Every structure is written in structure tokens, then in C-alpha cells.
A = this chain, B = another copy of it.
């Protein structure tokens, strides 16, 4: 099969894939290959020594949550002893924003892909600012984490089951007509999720817990994001491992390196040092506080959302910086490195063209244009949390390395 034909097959599989948020389960009960001491993280694999501050902070919170340690020093000792089994979430059909830490007792969303008959997992979204995924772990964060895992998750689970699942692909398609780009602007998608969930929450829950859940989902503003990330990964994985395909199926960052995966090159990661982010900072913080690019959320860009769909979401520039014109230009530029347009995800401001879909490593190298990513900025010091949001890109070295591997794959 020619490269173009292989890419076509890849993109057909990606677009045929469904994404139904069907359940919420404890990670150890569903995530494959999870031992009693597994700690999954965002991005390509890395060692404790290589991990950045926010990832270490999140691991600290997760270990305290699991009861494996009681303070940061104890967690560091545990990590250095080799007792924790670190691995990339991507190796376990899972995904997480920012540090993306998943430990066995955490509750994860289950997003079903009917095409592959595969489940993809993601933790629950915790809010912005001082949150675990950005490396914060004080008492307030830990209390929220416990409430989410032991109270919110069981209620949502029952509501999701009562609903027979929530169609995330439909929510994404609608939200793209409502000013979301689904990575850093989720106002419409979150409202659509809430609208879809509310009748089921009311049907299955007690009044007070339902009110608390609705308030949390509404105020968090981005609650839907993690499930959309799982759905996006599930779709992209449906297009993985197509021989001869040059389509990127994952972009992920661990705060140390950015890595990409390419359909025709299997599960291999092509990595380069994680870049900094050009962004807008919350009051009291600046570039000197910023961690390099971190998190699995660039899976949204990989499926044509995020900065790829910014033309449809000009209001996101109020959060990440820039102008509406820049948002439009970013989308137009991303068409230059993609081989298709998403048949379900349409962008009204560019006359309903499909979102730029199918990043081709050849096009990236030929044009010199790297995939733009809009993203949150974590504080480089553990324990602080999110300090801003902005724009970065997946480094060119990932794509040149992948293209070299592709050229030499039969040699």
C-alpha cells in the first residue's frame, strides 16, 4: 500500500471511531497492566530523576492519597528506592492532562470506542489553579481529591450508567460550533455535558450530592476535557499501526521531553527536549516560574482540536493570549501540515471546513511548520499548581527523527 493510501486508511479508522463515556471505575480494576505500585504519568516514559517539579509534586500527592507515604520526603525515598513502577499512561490505554498521574485507587473515566472495541481511561478533571495534575498537594487539594474519588465518582458512575453513556464525539462536534476548541476553551462542551448529565444525576442521586456535583462540574469550566482527551486518544489509537502511514497518532509531553508516535512506526516514541510556553501568566507569576511543556492534552491537537481548531474559538485568546486573527491564522497554518479535514468536526468561521486532521510527518518536515499546541503552564516548583496558559509547539526534532526512522524502516 502506498503512503497516501495507508494514510487514508489510518484517517478513515480514526474518523469512524466512536467515543462514548460509558463508566467510571477504579484504575486498578480496569487499566491494563496496573500493579499495586504502578504510577502512570503523561508523555513518553522517563525516570524519577528526569521528572520535573510539577510531576514530582503530583506523584507526592498521589502517593499520600494511596497511603504509601505521608510526606514529600517519604515519597522521594520511595521513588528513589525503585519501589514505584513508573510508566507512560499511553502504554496502558490511558491518558492524563499535565503530569497526568494515575495510581491504582484513583477513579478513571472509561471512554468506549466501538470500532476497536477498546476502552481508554483518564482521571477526573479537578479544576484550575492549585490542583494535583499541576503538582499541588496541600490539604485542600488532598481533600478535594478524596471527595472526587469517593463521592463524586460513584455518583457520576451511576448517572453515566443511567444515561447509557454520553456521546463525547457529538458534544465535541456541537461545541466546535459554539466557540470551543476543546483544549483550553471548554465552556460550551462543559455546558453540553452538564445538560446531558443533569437528568440522570437527578434521577439517580440525592438532592444535596447532585447539587454539589452540578456546581463542581459547572464551576470547573473544563470538567469535560479529560474525557474528551480519552475519547481523542481512543480515536487516534484506532488509526495506529497502519503500515506505511506517516500520520501522527500521539503528541505527548512529560515536562522533560515531548514525544510523538506515528501510525506506521508502531508504539515507538520520537522525542526531543520539551519546549517552554509563550503565555499569559496568572497574577504573581512569570516566565521564570514556568515549567517546560507538560501533559498528554496535546492529544486534542493531534485529533484536530485545540490550537488546530482555534479559528472556531477566537475567545480562547483571552485565556492563552493573542488575537482573533491569530487564532484564525493558526488553524489555516495547521491545514498545511495535515492531509485531511475532519468529517464530523466542522469549523463555522472557515465556512464549515473540517478541522485540520492527520498531521503528516512528511509535511511537517517539508514545510518547517510544527504543530502548534495551546496549553496550561505549570509552576516548575512542586506544590504550587497552574500559573498561566499559552502556546508552544511540538519540536521539529521529533518529526525529523520519525521521518528518518520511516525512511529506514525496511533497511
Contact = CB atoms under 8 A, between A and B. Distances in A.
Interface of A: 174, 177-180, 187-188, 191-192, 194-195, 198-199, 202-203, 207, 210-211, 214-215, 218, 314-315, 317-318, 323-325, 348-352
A348 B199 contact: no
Count of chain copies: 2
Nearest to A194: B195
A325 B353 CA distance: 13
A397 to B, nearest CB: 35
A184 to B, nearest CB: 14
A323 B349 contact: no
A215 B188 CA distance: 18
A218 to B, nearest CB: 6
A208 to B, nearest CB: 10
A181 to B, nearest CB: 12
Contact of A218 (B195, B211, B350, B352): B195
Contact of A351 (B210, B323, B348, B350): B323
A327 to B, nearest CB: 8
A199 B211 contact: yes
Contacts of A324: 348-352
B188 A214 contact: no
A86 B215 CA distance: 46
Nearest to A211: B199
A317 B348 CA distance: 9
B179 A198 contact: no
Given A187-B178, A202-B202, A349 B195 contact: no
A315 B352 CA distance: 8
A199 B218 CA distance: 11
Interface-centre pick from A178, A218, A317, A352 (highest chain B CB count, 10 A)? A178
A207 B203 contact: yes
A348 B179 contact: yes
Given A324-B351, A348-B324, A349-B324, A199 B178 contact: no
Contacts of A194: 191, 195, 198
A274 to B, nearest CB: 30
A39 to B, nearest CB: 36
A336 B78 CA distance: 68
Contacts of A352: 314, 318, 324
